[in-house]
Structure 1
Amino acid sequence: MSTADEIMHALQQTGTGVGQGIAAANGAKGKTEQAIAQATALGSRDKIAEYNALKAAIEEAITALNGGQEKVVQALNRARAAAG
Structure 2
Amino acid sequence: MTDRTQILDTINAQIEPFNKKGVALTEATTFQGDLEWDSLTVMDFVAAIEDEFDIIITMNMQAEIENIGQLADAVAKLKG
TM, length-normalised to structure 2: 0.32
In terms of fraction of residues, the more helix-rich structure is: 1
TM, length-normalised to structure 1: 0.31
Q: Larger C-alpha radius of gyration, 1 or 2?
A: 1
